[in-house]
């Protein structure tokens, strides 16, 4: 939703509300990605509930840390990294279905932002070319309307990929526990609860990342916004239909950079892009390490009690990170403020506020 | 076993371009067609009186009709794609 908010096509709270709703709908649209996560990455016979819990803990911690820093990291990769890490800690490298991992996760992860950037660049170039005789104001007006549509599609697309992953993990846990047969699809209650969780999470905490993507990376005008969103939506929907679990974060960022490249004179803040790329490269291994560590801890403490220990540590760390984030708050009021080099905008000087 | 499913990747690139760049371009074409006509927006003159006009509908009837056609095609294409995705994502039980 970042581009729609940055260009003013949608008010921040409206955008987030629509996003929540459409994520929910998208979650029901395609079950292919959940299948990949549940059955295609690790050997379900080697997965225990402790492994899943530890994997989730690893993914969540890494995800929250990058959230605090406003870096749009891939929660998908954090999740997958965590689960892979804990699986390896539990059962060794042979439990991982490397072929599935590489062909359905790693390769799409690397290629999808490139494809998205290409599509967005071509889109941006043609949009500006076709409307070159319109005034800038008319163009902005028209594309802001178009952005409402493309923003809805991106949210829908996001639901088909990201909500699916969480469902996939829960399904994996159910299979590991024996509640479901190997190779099953996600049950309806899993689909509903995951869809709800994603909607809620978007509404509560998306602001920091929205700010980085909408203002920090490229200063976006609405034709670019629409081109970026359409490119993202198309690439994500197509990949989801193949069961490719890609990082919607990577795709969205690729699209945004593509629009910067497709418009003459647009500036891409490569240092911000660089920070993101670094975070991404580290995501899979880091969350894997945390996942493995969490497993070691849980296993050391024995069985169910061990899982509770990780959960308590997870809740404490999450609380700490959230509390820390309040000290440099980004919310719907300042999400569009001028970019001053860091994710939280500098507060207005007291004298200006007093004078006005 | 191949590690890269080239045919899938190819499809994503081509359909991605068609839908992700082509549909917005069609939308843009609609905006352009709609803006034609006697009332089309004039950019601010060097003298600076009157800001950029953001009027979209230029008044040409042919332009408007073409624009609506373009927008309808875009909507239909989007609807069809979503339907297709749903079909692929929910394979019929054996």
Enter the DSSP assignment of A214. I
In the block, residue with structure tokens 């700490």: A320
**Does A352 have pLDDT greater than 50?**
no
Q: Which of B3, B54, B78 sits opposite A135 (nearest CB)?
A: B54
Q: How far is A29 from chain B (nearest CA, A)?
A: 5
Instruction: Say yes or no: A14 contacts chain B, CB-CB below 8 A.
Output: no
Alpha carbon of A175 to those of A78, A172, A180, A183, A245: distances in Å?
21, 5, 5, 8, 20
Per-residue pLDDT at A256:
85
**φ and ψ at A96, to 5 degrees?**
-90, 135
Alpha-carbon separation of residue A118 from A113, A240, B28, B56 (angstroms): 8, 19, 18, 29
With a pLDDT cut of 90, the percent of chain A lying above it is 4
**A356: pLDDT confidence band, cut at 50, 70 and 90?**
very low
- pLDDT at residue A118 in the model: 92
Looking at the partner chain, which of A123, A146, A153 has a beta carbon nearest the beta carbon of B21?
A123
C-alpha to C-alpha distance for A186 and A200, rounded to whole angstroms: 20
Which residues of chain B carry a pLDDT beneath 70? Answer: 1-4, 39-56, 58, 89-94
| Closest Cβ opposite residue A238 in set B15, B27, B55 | B15
Task: Specify the number of domains making up chain A.
Answer: 1
Backbone angles phi, psi at A132, to 5 degrees: -65, -20
To 10 degrees, what angle do helices A248-262 and A75-91 make? Answer: 140
**Is A132 or A348 the better-scoring residue by pLDDT?**
A132
Averaging pLDDT over each range in A223-232, A303-312, A320-329, which range is the top one?
A223-232
With an 8 Å Cβ cutoff, is B43 touching chain A? yes
Residues in chain B closer than 8 A to A141 (CB atoms): 54, 56
Contact A138 B54 (CB under 8 A): yes
The closest CB to that of B31, out of A102, A107, A142, belongs to A142
Counting Cα atoms < 13 Å in the Cβ hemisphere of A1 gives 31
Instruction: Say which residues have a Cβ less than 8 Å from residue A151's Cβ, sequence separation at least 6.
Output: A1, A3, A4, A9, A10, A15, A18, A19, A229
Q: What is the pLDDT of residue A166?
A: 78
Q: Which helix (H) or strand (E) holds A203?
A: helix A188-205
User: CB distance A141–B54 less than 8 Å?
Assistant: yes
**Residue ranges covered by each domain of chain B:** 8-35+54-89
N residues, chain B? 94
For the stretch A262-310, pLDDT in tens is: 777 666 777 777 877 777 778 888 888 888 888 888 777 766 777 777 7
Q: Tell whether B56 lies on the interface with A, counting CB pairs under 8 A.
A: yes
Rounded to whole angstroms, the Cα distance separating A89 from A92 reads 6
Tell me the chain B residues in contact with residue A142 when contact means C-beta distances shorter than 8 Å.
31, 56
Cα A237 from Cα A247, distance rounded (Å): 12
Minimum distance, in Å, between the CA of residue B29 and any CA atom of chain A: 6
Give chain A positions within 8 Å (CB) of B19: 230, 234, 238
Tell me which residue in B2, B8, B19 faces A234 most closely, judged by beta carbons. B19
Number of neighbours of residue A39 by Cβ within 10 angstroms: 20
In a mutational test of the A interface, the residue from B16, B18, B92 whose CB has the highest number of chain A CBs within 10 Å is B16
Say if the Cβ atoms of A235 and B16 lie within 8 Å. Answer: yes
Of A292, A244, A252, nearest to A276 by C-alpha is A252
Burial status of residue A324 (CB atoms within 10 A of its CB: 0-12, 13-18, 19 or more): exposed
Contact B28 A31 (CB under 8 A): no
DSSP chain B: --SS-HHHHHHHHHHIIIIIIIHHHHHHHHHHHHH-STT---PPPTT--S----------HHHHHHHHHHHHHHHHHHHHHHHHHHHHHSPPP-
Per-residue pLDDT reduced to its tens digit, A77-117:
888 888 888 888 887 777 777 877 777 777 888 888 899 99
Q: Alpha helix locations (H) across chain A?
A: 2-7, 12-29, 32-39, 49-68, 75-91, 98-101, 107-130, 136-158, 164-177, 188-205, 207-211, 222-241, 248-262, 270-300, 303-326, 350-355
Q: Within chain B, what is the greatest distance between any pair of CA atoms?
A: 72
A231 and B13 in contact by Cβ < 8 A? no
Q: Which residues from chain A sit within 8 angstroms of residue B11, using beta carbons?
A: 238, 242
CA proximity to A60, closest of A270, A355, A315, A240: A315
The residues, ordered by sequence, that sit 6+ positions from A242 with a Cβ below 8 Å of its Cβ are A32, B5, B8, B11, B12
- The answer to whether B16 contacts A143, with C-beta atoms less than 8 Å apart, is no
- Contact (CB, 8 A) for A172 and A245: no
What is the rounded CA–CA span in Å between residue A245 and residue A101?
A: 10
Nearest C-alpha in A relative to B19: A234
Torsion angle of C-alpha atoms A201, A226, A250, A2, degrees rounded to 10:
-40
Is residue A38 included in any domain, yes or no?
yes
Determine the distance in angstroms separating the CA of B80 from the nearest CA of chain A, rounded to an integer. Answer: 13
Q: Average pLDDT over chain A, rounded to whole?
A: 78
Mean pLDDT of chain B: 76
Annotate A35-90 with DSSP letters as a single string.
HHHHHSSB-GGG--HHHHHHHHHHHHHHHHHHHHTT----HHHHHHHHHHHHHHHH
The string of pLDDT tens digits covering residues A171-215 is 878 877 777 776 667 778 888 888 788 777 777 666 777 776 666
Contact between chains at B5 and A142 (C-beta distance less than 8 A): no
Question: Minimal Cα–Cα distance from B85 to chain A, Å?
Answer: 6
Tokens of B35: 């803006």
Confidence band for A241, pLDDT divided at 50, 70 and 90: confident
- Whether A8 has its CB under 8 Å from any CB of chain B: the answer is no
Residue A306 placed within a domain:
no
Do B72 and B33 touch, CB atoms closer than 8 A?
A: no
Are A1 and A134 in contact by the 8 Å Cβ rule? The answer is no
What mean pLDDT do residues A21-43 have? 73
Longest pairwise C-alpha distance within chain A? 70
Q: Is B61 on the interface with A (CB under 8 A)?
A: no
Range of the domain at A247: 2-53+65-80+98-269+331-355
Report how many Cβ contacts below 8 Å link chain A to chain B: 144
Indicate the helix (H) or strand (E) that contains A189: helix A188-205
- Res A119: pLDDT: 92
- Separation of CA A25 from chain center: 17
What's the pLDDT tens digit per position in A122-167? 998 988 888 888 888 888 888 888 888 888 888 888 877 777 777 8
Decide if A235 and B3 are in contact by the 8 Å CB cutoff.
Answer: no
């Amino acid at each position: 939703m970042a581009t729609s908010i940055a260009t003013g096509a949608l008010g921040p709270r409206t955008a987030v509300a629509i996003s929540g709703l459409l994520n929910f709908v998208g979650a029901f649209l395609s079950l292919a990605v959940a299948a990949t996560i549940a059955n295609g990455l690790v050997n379900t016979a080697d997965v225990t509930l402790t492994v899943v819990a530890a994997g989730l803990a690893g993914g969540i911690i890494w995800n929250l840390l990058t959230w605090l820093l406003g870096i749009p990291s891939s929660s998908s990769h954090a999740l997958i990294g965590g689960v892979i890490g804990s699986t390896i800690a539990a059962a060794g490298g042979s439990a991982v279905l490397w072929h599935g991992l590489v062909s359905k996760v790693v390769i799409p992860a690397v290629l999808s932002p490139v494809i998205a950037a290409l599509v967005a660049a071509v889109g941006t170039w043609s949009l500006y070319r076709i409307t070159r005789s319109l005034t800038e104001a008319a163009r902005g007006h028209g594309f802001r309307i178009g952005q409402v549509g493309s923003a809805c599609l991106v949210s829908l697309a996001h639901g088909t990929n990201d909500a699916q992953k969480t469902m996939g993990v829960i399904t994996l846990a159910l299979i590991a526990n024996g509640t479901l047969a190997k190779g099953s699809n996600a049950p309806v209650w899993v689909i509903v609860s995951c869809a709800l969780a994603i909607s809620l999470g978007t509404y509560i905490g998306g602001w920091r990342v929205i700010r980085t993507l909408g203002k920090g990376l490229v200063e976006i005008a609405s034709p670019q916004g629409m081109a970026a969103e359409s490119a993202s939506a198309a690439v994500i929907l197509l990949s989801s239909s193949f069961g490719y679990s890609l990082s919607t974060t990577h795709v969205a960022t690729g699209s945004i950079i593509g629009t910067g490249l497709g418009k003459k004179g647009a500036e891409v803040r490569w240092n911000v892009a660089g920070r993101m790329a670094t975070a991404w490269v580290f995501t899979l291994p880091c969350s894997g390490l945390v996942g493995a560590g969490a497993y070691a801890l849980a296993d050391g403490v024995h069985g169910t009690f061990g899982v509770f220990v990780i959960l308590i540590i997870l809740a404490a760390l999450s609380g700490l990170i959230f509390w820390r984030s309040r000290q440099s708050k980004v919310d719907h009021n300042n999400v569009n403020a001028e970019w001053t080099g860091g994710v939280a905008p500098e507060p207005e000087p007291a004298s200006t506020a007093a004078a006005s | 076993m191949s590690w890269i499913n080239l045919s899938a990747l190819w499809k994503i690139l081509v359909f991605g371009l068609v839908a992700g760049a082509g549909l917005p371009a069609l939308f843009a074409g609609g905006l352009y067609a709609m803006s034609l006509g006697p009332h089309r927006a004039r950019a601010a003159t060097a003298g600076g009186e009157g800001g950029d006009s953001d009027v979209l509908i230029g008044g040409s009837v042919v332009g408007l009709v073409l624009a609506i056609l373009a927008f309808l095609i875009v909507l239909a294409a989007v609807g069809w794609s979503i339907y297709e995705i749903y079909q692929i994502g929910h394979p019929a039980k054996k």
